[in-house]
Structure 1
Amino acid sequence: MHYWIPGAVAATLLLSGCSLWPAAEKTAVNEQRIAELNIPAGLKAPKKPGQYDLPAKVAAGVSPEQMDLRAPMQVLAVATNARVEEEEKEARVWFERTEFTGDLMPYLQNNITSFFSKNTIDATHPQQLQWQTDWVSSYQETGWWLWKGQELTQQSKFNVVLEPRSHGRTIAVQVKLLEHKYTDETQKLTPISQRREEVHFLNRIIDHIATVELAAIREAKAKLPDVMLTRAVNDKQEPVMLTTQPIDVTWSQLELLLEKVGLEVTDLNQTDYVYYLKYIKAEQGFWDSIWGDEDLPELPLTAGEYQLSLSKTDKGTAIKIKDKDGKVLDQATLDAVYEVFAAAIRQGKLEL
């Protein structure tokens, strides 16, 4: 008696691989080189792009492993008041004066000095706007788990210079490599390696300044009240809401606020700072229920269309709400609307 075992047959076919099918024939490809263009006399040859050309040393027979083919490191202007100019060839970054920096020159001097102190870098001050560091060491991690350690790989000395513009509101910080040595004497410093060392040290300075700036921004924000929005009366004795924020900031923050309280924006006129609204009852979203956000009180408005307009004042921005007929909301209704707005501002941590 013969037994048919499908699984065994399938396994046999899989193990046999491609031996069941004839091997594809390999055909030789004849490489054809296109001859160079013959340029007639009196005409110029077109320019050849060189971005894909082999480096001259490689074309001459030098092994690529013996060359530094790494991409140059980029200056990371992570501070809000920092920028890098286009086509910049040096390790240089520009800082602008802001409300958090105050006078920019002492601000940068203090931060660079604190950077040296925090990282235990010895530096001399040969000139008023210049620092020269002692040896700055770089290490790489060796070993693994309980046997991890740090091994010295290279040391560098840097020159840090401040370059102020004449008006004093813009100052550049530039880093230059003065001396360098590898622990491995067979390694040589290449132009790319030199720039990488300069940019890396400059990025460390920028990161320190950005950290100090972020702490100042958080401190200033913590001093602000939860809600800057208040109730007031304008020159026409109409009830309005007033915020100390500029009109452009108020305009952008209101778009977030209106959505939270169930006011749908149907149209807008940013030139005149007018929102055209339709009131629908706000519903708690899925993520609000997941994260436990409290339901906002319902606006004391009937369903329908409304207008919300902004105007500049000497104290900030005034917010006026009208119904579809252009009638300004009465004081009692606006007071109740204000309470809902204030609750939404606190919940959404809006800048209003």
Structure 2
Amino acid sequence: MCRSFIVQYWIPASLVASLVISGCSLFPEDVAEQNTVEVKPVAELKVPDGLTAAKKPAQYDIPPAPNAPVTEVELKSPMQVLALATNSRVEEEEKEARIWFERSEFTGELLPYLQKNVLDFGQEKQIEMTQKDQQGLIFETGWISRFEEEGFWLWKDMVEKEQSRFLVVLEPKPHGRTVGLRVQLLEHRFIDNTAKLSAIAQKREEVYFLNRLVDKVATVELAQIKLKKAQSRQITLTTGFDEQGNPAMITGQTLDTAWAQLELLFEQNGFVVNDLDRTKYSFFLTYSEPETGFWDSLWGDEETIVLPLTAGDYQVVLTKAEVGTILSWRDGEGKVMSAEQVSALHQALVQLIKKDNIEL
């Protein structure tokens, strides 16, 4: 049965207005009922004579197995080899737990570099590494245990679950600039004799151990990069005079670079930037000596660097020089510091620049 209903619209210009709409449906039948779309199969691509069809990937095909028994499927995804070091890479469609390293400026002779990292890794992790050949290309590990935490609260305990032994193989190319690092699982045993290791779990064990070795190489490489960067960084900040002959500091960095680096320096060493004027390259600061907490004094391994400044307001004005940038240090009222003050402040700032890796 069709019914009528009233829809009310409230309009600011009038108190009440109503509109009566009658009908059985608000939409036409051809919109409400959509026609079924006919799906047409796509014809097989015809390859012209003299040409060959592209290969179809078969890695996702499910082989027919109508009479195969139903087995338990492991729902864990396989692990992936991680090329953490900058000179490492993984080849596509690699079936083994293998990664390739290229010689770089940080490795020197690549094979001795990797041999040392493998042995150092075993020493750090307390894993027995036995060299199995005269060339030092094959290493065999001792038993490596894996533990899991069991229990609750005060009764928690680490329980050994399984053990593994691996073969670590270095595979140098004839030219010596490329060396492969491959890991193979030799033996595995569960503490619970009823458990079994699947093929996917075996590959996961190999990849996990390989990633730990690669992480060791990447850690050593990162330390070398930081050391070389620190050695190559030159501190150009010196004392001198501005254009008016007032005592000042001079850095070889450009005006914009010096501005950005000073922001980092202030942020980390007791300065509060109250205001700044980028058009005049001026900082308005308040300095207070950084407080050393109890834990800092107890565990801190670096000596605290104290600037020869009294607590209060200061200004730093940057001006472009012929080569680099001039830093004019002033008190809160804009008075230029004396040569003795600038010299003492410069010596302390050089220590902060080294400690915080500031480029000035």
- 1:336 corresponds to which of 326, 332, 357: 326
Whether 1:79 and 2:69 are equivalent positions in the alignment is: no
Whether 1:159 and 2:167 are equivalent positions in the alignment is: yes
* Residues 1:224 and 1:202: Cα distance change in structure 2 (over 3 Å): same
Whether 1:281 and 2:281 are equivalent positions in the alignment is: yes
Does the 8 Å contact 1:261/1:282 carry over to 2? no
The answer for the alignment partner of 1:149 in structure 2 is 157
Does the 8 Å contact 1:115/1:205 carry over to 2? yes
The answer for the alignment partner of 2:76 in structure 1 is 70
Residue identity matched to 1:178: L
The answer for the alignment partner of 1:190 in structure 2 is 198
Q: Following superposition of structure 1 onto structure 2, how do residues 130-145 of structure 1 map, counting pairs within 5 Å? A: 130-145=138-153
Q: Following superposition of structure 1 onto structure 2, how do residues 172-191 of structure 1 map, counting pairs within 5 Å? A: 172-191=180-199
* Residues 1:59 and 1:300: Cα distance change in structure 2 (over 3 Å): farther
Residue identity matched to 2:318: L
RMSD between aligned residues = 5.0
TM-score when normalising by structure 2: 0.54
Residue identity matched to 2:109: D
* Residues 1:227 and 1:73: Cα distance change in structure 2 (over 3 Å): same
Bigger-Rg structure (1/2): 2
Residue identity matched to 1:298: V
The answer for the alignment partner of 2:317 in structure 1 is 298
Q: Secondary structure of 2:185's partner?
A: strand
Structure 2 Cα separation of the partners of residues 217 and 50 of structure 1: 44
Does the 8 Å contact 2:97/2:182 carry over to 1? yes
Q: Is there any run of 5+ residues in structure 2 with no aligned partner, and where? A: 1-35, 48-54, 240-249, 264-277, 292-312, 330-345
Whether 1:101 and 2:107 are equivalent positions in the alignment is: yes
User: How many matched pairs?
Assistant: 256
Structure 1 Cα separation of the partners of residues 113 and 56 of structure 2: 49
Does the 8 Å contact 1:260/1:282 carry over to 2? no
Q: Secondary structure of 2:203's partner?
A: helix
Q: Following superposition of structure 1 onto structure 2, how do residues 217-236 of structure 1 map, counting pairs within 5 Å? A: 217-224=225-232, 227=235
Structure 2 Cα separation of the partners of residues 38 and 226 of structure 1: 68
Does the 8 Å contact 1:75/1:91 carry over to 2? yes
Q: Secondary structure of 1:299's partner?
A: strand
* Residues 1:351 and 1:58: Cα distance change in structure 2 (over 3 Å): farther
* Residues 1:216 and 1:189: Cα distance change in structure 2 (over 3 Å): same
* Residues 1:150 and 1:62: Cα distance change in structure 2 (over 3 Å): same
Structure 2 Cα separation of the partners of residues 283 and 92 of structure 1: 55
Q: Secondary structure of 2:130's partner?
A: strand
Residue identity matched to 2:124: K
Deviations 1:237-289 (A, max 9, x none): xxxx998xxxxxx99xx975565679xxxxxxxxxxxxxxx95535579xx99
Structure 1 Cα separation of the partners of residues 59 and 43 of structure 2: 23
TM-score when normalising by structure 1: 0.55
Structure 1 Cα separation of the partners of residues 316 and 160 of structure 2: 63
Does the 8 Å contact 1:226/1:346 carry over to 2? no
* Residues 1:36 and 1:257: Cα distance change in structure 2 (over 3 Å): same
Q: Secondary structure of 2:132's partner?
A: strand
The answer for the alignment partner of 2:211 in structure 1 is 203
Instruction: Note the C-alpha offset of 1:36.
Output: 11
Structure 2 Cα separation of the partners of residues 338 and 109 of structure 1: 54
Structure 1 Cα separation of the partners of residues 217 and 192 of structure 2: 33
Structure 1 Cα separation of the partners of residues 61 and 314 of structure 2: 64
